[in-house]
Structure 1
Amino acid sequence: MNAGATPVVDENALCRFVADEANLLDERRFDEWLDLFADDGRYWVPLLGRMQADPHSHNSLAYEDKLLLRLRIERLKDPRAHSQHPPSHCQHVLQAARVERFDSDAGTATLRTPFLYIESRGEQQLMLAGSYRHTLVRTADGLRIRQKRVDLLGAERALPAVQLFI
């Protein structure tokens, strides 16, 4: 955390926000999860993990704005979605989030959170590991996600289809 920076909110509230966000996914409360994103929010899974500086200079596993996220959520909720028979479930196991940066002028905070992600569907189970980088912004409606970056360990290898949100 930058010395002398005025926090967006206290550090505990920021870390709790990240944990609550993962919990919404684990409980399949996708609409509430989407509401956590700012209007200009992005969900980004770089193909090159931490080495990828931006989503435009190289392909990504996912780079989605709120509209694309909404379309994915509607697909997941559609009773005719073949990929959800049986439905997928997930569990996010988070280490403690660490605030890396506050920008009081922009009203943003960036947190890094190492994680394990387990997705289960029928008898199949997938486990991924990596770290999140949440860029949170204070809005009139409270904290919102400007960007959720998911840096997977070994993201450049062939991965099975992930049905939910890492």
Structure 2
Amino acid sequence: MNRDDLIDFVYDEAATIDQMRWDDWLALFHKDGRYWMPLEWQQEDPILQPSLMYEDRLLLTVRVERLAGERTFSQKPKSRCHHLMERPRILSMGEDGGVHRLRTSFIYTETRGDLLERYSGWVSHELVEVDGALQIKLKRIDLINFDAPFSNIQLFI
């Protein structure tokens, strides 16, 4: 994988969320992949410290099925979102056990009906190659206002 492949992956992953292609998005995760939103600044441990979200592939699958379901009344009308991102910074290109690390600043907007929520911060990706394709081993979202009260985040940042 070259630098452009890594950067394109991050942009394409956000596009699958913005386009609500949930099955395609879920397929980007490694079988042991995690989606993590820490509750504290520079939090190191998602297990022994509380997090806003810490989801494995099974929990992500349940959420995707809920979002795609016709009987999900909390999604009538459906939520929509948009990612506005800086160019991802490559922190490493596989030197650490084959893990590619990237960090991207973002502004994320989520809307449903007449409600509009905005979040900003940094997303970190840890990507691995499996059969020639990149997969997400860890997606970590560090919100700038992590300590603020939040309404329900319906989709995925």
Fold agreement, TM-score > 0.5: yes
Paired letter, 2:12:
D
Q: Could you say which residue in structure 2 is the equivalent of 1:21?
A: 13
5 Å-filtered alignment, 1:58-137, equals 58-104=49-95, 106-137=97-128
TM-score, L = length of structure 2: 0.96
5 Å-filtered alignment, 1:44-55, equals 44-49=36-41, 51-55=42-46
Structure 1: give runs of 5+ residues left out of the alignment: 1-8
The alignment's C-alpha RMSD in Å is 1.1
Q: Are 1:154 and 2:149 counterparts?
A: no
In 2, Cα distance between equivalents of 1:27 and 1:103: 29
Q: Match of 1:53, SS?
A: coil
Q: Match of 1:104, SS?
A: strand
TM-score, L = length of structure 1: 0.91
Contact persistence 1:117–1:129 (CA under 8 A): yes
In 1, Cα distance between equivalents of 2:132 and 2:24: 14
Contact persistence 2:79–2:155 (CA under 8 A): yes
Structure 2 residue corresponding to 1:11, chosen from 3, 11, 31: 3
Q: Are 1:38 and 2:30 counterparts?
A: yes
Q: Match of 2:12, SS?
A: helix
Q: Match of 2:53, SS?
A: strand
Q: Match of 1:163, SS?
A: coil
In 2, Cα distance between equivalents of 1:10 and 1:110: 13
Q: In the TM superposition, what whole-angstrom CA distance separates every residue of 1:61-106 from its partner, at most 9, and x where no partner exists?
A: 1100111000001111111212101000000111010001233362
Contact persistence 1:44–1:150 (CA under 8 A): yes
Q: Match of 2:135, SS?
A: strand
In 2, Cα distance between equivalents of 1:70 and 1:78: 12
Q: Post-superposition shift, 1:57?
A: 2.7
Q: Match of 1:144, SS?
A: strand
Contact persistence 1:83–1:163 (CA under 8 A): no
**Greater than 6 Å deviation, 4+ residue runs:** none
Q: Match of 1:15, SS?
A: helix
